[in-house]
Amino acid sequence: MISGQKRWITNGAAADYLLLAVRTGESRHNGISMVVFPTDVKGYTVGRKLKKIGNVASDTAELFFDECRIPKRYIVGQENRGFYYIMENFQGERLATALLVNSFMDRSLELAIQYGKDREAFGQPVGSFQVWRHRFAEHRASVEAARWMAYRAADLMTRGKKADREVTMAKLVSTDLAQRVTYDCQQTFGGFGYTTEYPIGRIWRDMRLYTIGAGTSEVMKEILAKHEGF
């Protein structure tokens, strides 16, 4: 029997099935199991769709479970090993996040540089002012460094090597950098950057999620500190 609630569930309002982590034992880490949960089970309800700043193309839901019953055969993998499955999956999600964020930084710079060439102020293109030329040069170098951190982590994972440290670094560096890069790229557009007429506004809003999702930047720092023996 499953009772409780879950929040921040991506596409939760539209899902026919959930991959659900449930407590099946008393141990803190060894008492969680993964189950396939059909959303037509009696006692299951979607509470509401949470209103978000960005990433509005998919819903984020609050879910409720009131004495829901499913067969034991719906358990995925070994019983009580769910916590470890979640932690393993997080590594893939964090690496995917780093790669995704890098692609959006590339796109943000492309948009801002092109706008900087087209838009004129005081008789010259906005992008030709030294403050922007140097800013874009710095960002290009930083994004390239972040990309190779992600590639290094991907290479280790592909070869079956342990990559917890490298994935965590890639996620931390890429998502924090994205806040600065998209901010400056939006700033290049001036007032238009604060409208919905250009895609840079959406990118800026959406990128804000990624220092939070799949483990916050603060959690990433805690993980890295543990790798250093603190």
d(CA 90, CA 192): 37
By CB atoms closer than 10 A (0-12, 13-18, 19+), residue 199 is exposed
Q: Is 93 a catalytic residue?
A: yes
Which residues on adjacent β-strands are paired with residue 49? 61
In the set 62, 88, 93, 110, the catalytic residue is 93
Closest residue by Cα to residue 38 from 70, 4, 78: 70
Q: What distance lies between CA 201 and its chain's CA centroid?
A: 18
Q: Phi and psi dihedrals of 83, rounded to 5?
A: -60, -40
d(CA 126, CA 40): 56
d(CA 126, CA 115): 8
d(CA 216, CA 97): 12
Structural tokens at position 90: 């997080």
- Region for residue 213 given its phi and psi (left: phi exceeds 0; alpha: psi -120 to 50; beta: otherwise): beta
The H or E element that residue 141 is part of is helix 130-158
Query: Would you please indicate which residues are annotated as catalytic (active-site) residues?
Result: 93
